Amino acid sequence: MKKVLSVLLLAVAFIGCEKETVIVIEDDNCEECQGATVNLAPQARGPVDRGTMYAWIDVITVVATDDQNVDYGDEFELVDDNSGADGFYLEEVPTGEIIDFSASSTSITQSYNGQTLVEANPNDLDAFVNRMPFAEYSTDAPVSQYIENGDNTVYLQMNTNHGRLISSFQLANNIQSGYNLVVTRGADSQTITGTSGVVSYWNGSTSLDGATQSFNLQVKDIVTSQVVFTRDITETIVASTSTTNKYVVGLGFVEDSSVEVIFTWQPWEENEGEDETSSCGTLTNMNVSGSYSLTQDTVLEDVNLVVAGDLNLNGYTLTLPCGGVTVSGNFNGGGTLIHCGNLVVTGATQNNPTIIQQCN
């Protein structure tokens, strides 16, 4: 009995790495044979044990056509209960001919496939990261192989265009008590305040390489509903990649960190990168020779405010997320001061200002 060996390299890439899965081609008696058997498993057809292949791969279809376009391929369903074969077989593949091999796979679907925008804890994304991805794979082009008596090896590399985006949005610590954050993506919108957040999840049939999604972010004053900051963000799907973006929105800035995860043809692993939600730079003194009066809510980043005259809040909020305040004259309230460093007032403190010491 002669054997013809073929190997299917399912270098499936929801991921950037390759992993091999074997196809064996075998016939019973090559001296009398009418065709070979492309063996994707030892002596079995039908269901095939999943082994180390990704949990989201459902059915693998192998196409093997001759020059008359006759297909000797077959379809194989992956099973998880060890009731299937250890590999795959295609029967009666002709010997002495060039056969074109290709393959594709379907993905197991879940109720969360698609695009969602929900209120959720922005600092605990495990429930989203641990979801089973949706990814379909295929060969980029057929591989032509002359099938002869003896051992033959065919390598098929499987790639996917599917990717995944997980994005979280939250307010900076120093404005969580006085502002709302409105996150809009298309027709979907979520509004949060305080320590809550918004999480966007996109993975499914439409999350293909190069596809984009756009967000509009608005920070609104809780009392007046006035928009005090707005920003547009666009994200792009990358094939075979899950990307987690974390955005922290303040008055006049958006800080973000991006964690890119590359899957391998091994058990799926995600590596959490360092997420710096906010930080202070080098502090400098902002010296005001006379009095300093607010005309709107104001954030002074990375400075110590030094006022030679009076400080007049005039009903607005003055925020120094990193610095302190020194006032040589009077400190007149009617508003709120949020500061990180020391507060020194030489004159009188009047009109009951709200004073909050809170660092970035």
CATH classification of the domain holding 75: 2.60.40
Rounded to the nearest integer, the mean pLDDT of the chain is 78
Report if residue 225 sits inside a domain.
Answer: no
Which stretch of 92-96, 218-222, 314-318 has the lowest confidence by average pLDDT?
92-96
Structural domain ending residue among the three candidates 92, 126, 160: 160
Residues 148, 289, single domain; the answer is no
Q: What is the pLDDT of residue 15?
A: 36
Please tell me the predicted confidence (pLDDT) of residue 95.
84
Shared domain for 155 and 10, answered yes or no, is yes
284: amino acid identity, one letter: T
Residues 66 and 38: beta-carbon distance below 8 Å: no
CA proximity to 7, closest of 149, 159, 160, 145: 145
- Domain contains 276: no
Q: What's the pLDDT band for 157 if we cut at 50, 70, 90?
A: confident
The first and second tokens of residue 133, run together, are 């991805």
DSSP β-bridge partners for residue 246: 168, 257
Whether 317 is in a domain gets the answer yes
What average pLDDT does this structure show over 296-320? 92
The reply to whether 249 falls in a domain is no
- Which of these, 74, 156, 60, lies nearest to 104 by C-alpha position? 60
Both 11 and 155 in a single domain?
yes
Same domain flag for 152 and 292: no
How confident is the model over 31-74, as pLDDT tens digits? Answer: 322 333 333 322 233 576 787 778 899 998 989 899 999 998 88
Among 107-121, 185-199, 243-257, 303-317, name the one with the lowest average pLDDT.
243-257
Extended beta strands in 74-211, E state:
74-79, 88-93, 97-107, 114-120, 137-139, 143-147, 158-160, 164-171, 179-185, 188-193, 197-203
CA 240/CA 348 separation, integer angstroms: 63
Q: Total structural domains in the chain?
A: 2
Instruction: Please say if the pLDDT value at position 246 is more than 50.
Output: yes
pLDDT band at 3 (very low <50, low <70, confident <90, very high): very low
Asked if residue 156 and residue 7 are part of one domain, the reply reads: yes
0.75 cut: is pTM over it? no
Asked if residue 152 is part of any domain, the answer here is yes
Q: Is 120 a member of any domain?
A: no
Q: What is the average per-residue pLDDT within 229-255?
A: 84
- pLDDT surpassing 80 at residue 331: yes
What average pLDDT does the segment 284-313 reach? 92
56 is in which domain, residue-wise? 3-110+136-160
Percent of the chain clearing pLDDT 90 (strictly above): 42
In a domain, 106, yes or no: yes
Q: Does any domain span residue 257?
A: no
- Helix segments in the chain, DSSP class H: 126-129
Which of 34-38, 217-221, 270-274 has the highest average model confidence (pLDDT)? 217-221
Q: Spell out the residues 6+ positions from residue 197 whose beta carbon is closer than 8 angstroms to its own.
A: 119, 120, 121, 122, 123, 168, 169, 170
The two tokens of residue 179 are: 């502002």
